[in-house]
Chains A and B, each alone.
Chain A
Amino acid sequence: MFTGRDQGGAERAMTALLGMKKLDVDALQRAFDG
Chain B
Amino acid sequence: MARLRLKLSLSLDGFVAGPGQSVRDPLGIGGMRLHEWAFPLAAWRALHGLEGGEVNASSRVVEESVAGVGATLMGRNMFGGHPGPWDGRQPWNGWWGDDPPFHHPVFVVTHHARAPLHLQGGTTFTFVTDGIEAALAQARRAAAGRDVSLAGGASIARQYLGAGLVDETELHLVPARCAASVCSKGRATICTGSNWCAPSPRRTSRICGSPGADGVRWRAVGDCRTIPASAPSARAGPRAGGSAPADDRPTGSRRTTSADNDWRIISAGPTGDGAKAMKLGQRVTPCLWFDDQAEAAARFYTGIFDDSGIDTVTRYGEAGFEIHGRPAGSVMTVSFRLAGLQITALNGGPHFRFSEAVSLEVECADQREIDYYWRALSEGGDPAAQQCGWLKDKFGLSWQVVPKALRTCSPVGTRAGPSGP
Contacts and interface: CB of A to CB of B under 8 A. Distances in A.
Contact of B367 (A5, A21, A26): A26
Contacts of A17: 388-389, 406
Interface string B137-150: 00000000000000
A25 B370 contact: yes
B386 A22 contact: yes
Nearest to B400: A23
Contacts of A7: 411, 413
Contact of B410 (A10, A20, A24, A26): A10
Nearest to A10: B411
A13 B402 contact: no
21 contacts: A2-B409, A5-B413, A9-B409, A10-B409, A13-B406, A14-B410, A17-B406, A18-B388, A21-B386, A21-B387, A21-B388, A21-B389, A22-B374, A22-B389, A22-B391, A22-B401, A23-B389, A23-B406, A25-B366, A25-B367, A28-B406
Interface of A: 1-3, 5, 7, 9-11, 13-14, 17-18, 20-26, 28, 32
Contacts of A23: 370, 388-389, 401-403, 406
A29 to B, nearest CB: 9
A32 B406 CA distance: 11
Nearest to B368: A25
Given A17-B389, A22-B370, A22-B389, A28 B403 contact: yes
Contacts, number: 57
Nearest to A26: B367
A32 B367 contact: no
Interface of B: 366-367, 370-371, 374, 386-389, 391, 401-403, 405-406, 408-411, 413
A7 B366 CA distance: 23
Nearest to A19: B388
Contacts of A20: 387-389
A2 B413 CA distance: 12
Contacts of B403: 1, 23, 25, 28
Nearest to A29: B405
Given A14-B410, A20-B389, 17 more contacts: A3-B408, A5-B413, A7-B411, A10-B410, A10-B411, A11-B411, A13-B409, A17-B388, A21-B386, A21-B387, A21-B389, A22-B371, A22-B386, A23-B388, A23-B403, A24-B367, A26-B367
A14 B408 CA distance: 12
A1 B391 CA distance: 24
A11 B413 CA distance: 10
A1 B370 CA distance: 15
A2 B186 CA distance: 26
A32 B411 CA distance: 11
A25 B374 CA distance: 13
A28 B367 CA distance: 11
Contacts of A28: 403, 406
B373 to A, nearest CB: 10
Contact of B409 (A18, A21, A32): A32
A5 B413 CA distance: 8
A14 B411 CA distance: 7
Contacts of B391: 21-22
Closest 4 CB pairs of A and B: A2-B409, A1-B405, A11-B411, A23-B389
